[in-house]
Structure 1
């Protein structure tokens, strides 16, 4: 049961939600795994790494094989989960935010730097692309009372913007 304190998600509830994600992932053999820095209050986070094939746009015949590494951590400053990620090309070089933007049709009407920014990971404290957390609470608020796993509910909304698609089994955890 989610404990509501001023309609926000506590670190304890976040940790329970990501434990549920990893347990479901283990059953699906989907690749989410736990990481932890016990020295930090918000030290628990989860990681998933996968390869994706993307094309620049509809007219582009060139496919780009990219490796995505997704992290879901808790940002104490904003009091919300954050989706951090990095993307590598086949030659091992990391994509810039501008290169990622060009490969992502979902952002064409948005301001790139308001949506995706490079911030320090809340646990690792090194730069990652991050879906900017300033509006996360607003996105999550409707799920806090209704969803059994508001982190999954939030991911179903924001994940597709960074090519993170969830299996239906995760969504079943929410009801």
Structure 2
């Protein structure tokens, strides 16, 4: 079984930041020097989504995405938090209601709140337990399996990569 090493992950996220810098897309590399898995990338975006609990009005939300390496699972993990315009954070239940891409039966298995692997603070997180299954086909075929994985899972949480990122997977 092929797996993604921490060195591979670091190379992949550095590639993402290099492309982002050229596109001015907002991904930034962060590093906590004291941890083996201390490199991660961050991107903030504003999006307008309907919030059912607030009526039928659309709300401006601020998403902060983090892609870090989870040592326990040996895979990248997509963590994020979402804030309303008034600065209040969206709860996991509010996010589920605003996001029709999750089915009720698998919400807790797919999206959970857990500690960020580097920052050790609660974030909404696409649960890493099935990430290896999603990534496995990309590990041997993609030049950047993190981009390939993000292009599959990102849309579930309103994170979409432009074509320029996907091009690096096969070039």
TM-score exceeds 0.5 = yes
What TM-score, normalized by structure 2, do the two folds share? 0.95
* 2:143 paired residue among 134, 143, 148: 148
Q: Is the 8 A contact 2:51 2:94 kept in 1?
A: no
Q: Which residue of 2 aligns with 1:78?
A: 73
Query: Aligned partners of 1:38, 1:61: CA distance in 2, in Å?
Result: 45
Q: Which residue of 1 aligns with 2:45?
A: 50
What TM-score, normalized by structure 1, do the two folds share? 0.93
Q: Which residue of 1 aligns with 2:12?
A: 17
Q: Which residue of 1 aligns with 2:109?
A: 114
State the secondary structure of the residue aligned to 2:169.
coil
* 1:173 paired residue among 162, 168, 171: 168
Query: Aligned partners of 1:65, 1:111: CA distance in 2, in Å?
Result: 27
Query: Aligned partners of 1:110, 1:167: CA distance in 2, in Å?
Result: 30
Q: Is the 8 A contact 2:80 2:125 kept in 1?
A: yes
> Is the aligned partner of 1:31 residue 2:26?
yes
State the secondary structure of the residue aligned to 1:174.
helix
Q: Which residue of 2 aligns with 1:41?
A: 36
Q: Which residue of 2 aligns with 1:89?
A: 84
What RMSD over aligned residues (CA atoms) do the two structures have, in Å?
1.1
1:61 CA displacement? 4.0
Q: Which residue of 1 aligns with 2:94?
A: 99
Runs of 4+ in 1 over 4 A off after TM superposition: none
Query: Aligned partners of 1:139, 1:108: CA distance in 2, in Å?
Result: 18
1:108 CA displacement? 3.0
* 1:69 paired residue among 55, 64, 69: 64
State the secondary structure of the residue aligned to 2:20.
helix
Query: Aligned partners of 2:95, 2:68: CA distance in 1, in Å?
Result: 21
Query: Aligned partners of 1:109, 1:128: CA distance in 2, in Å?
Result: 20
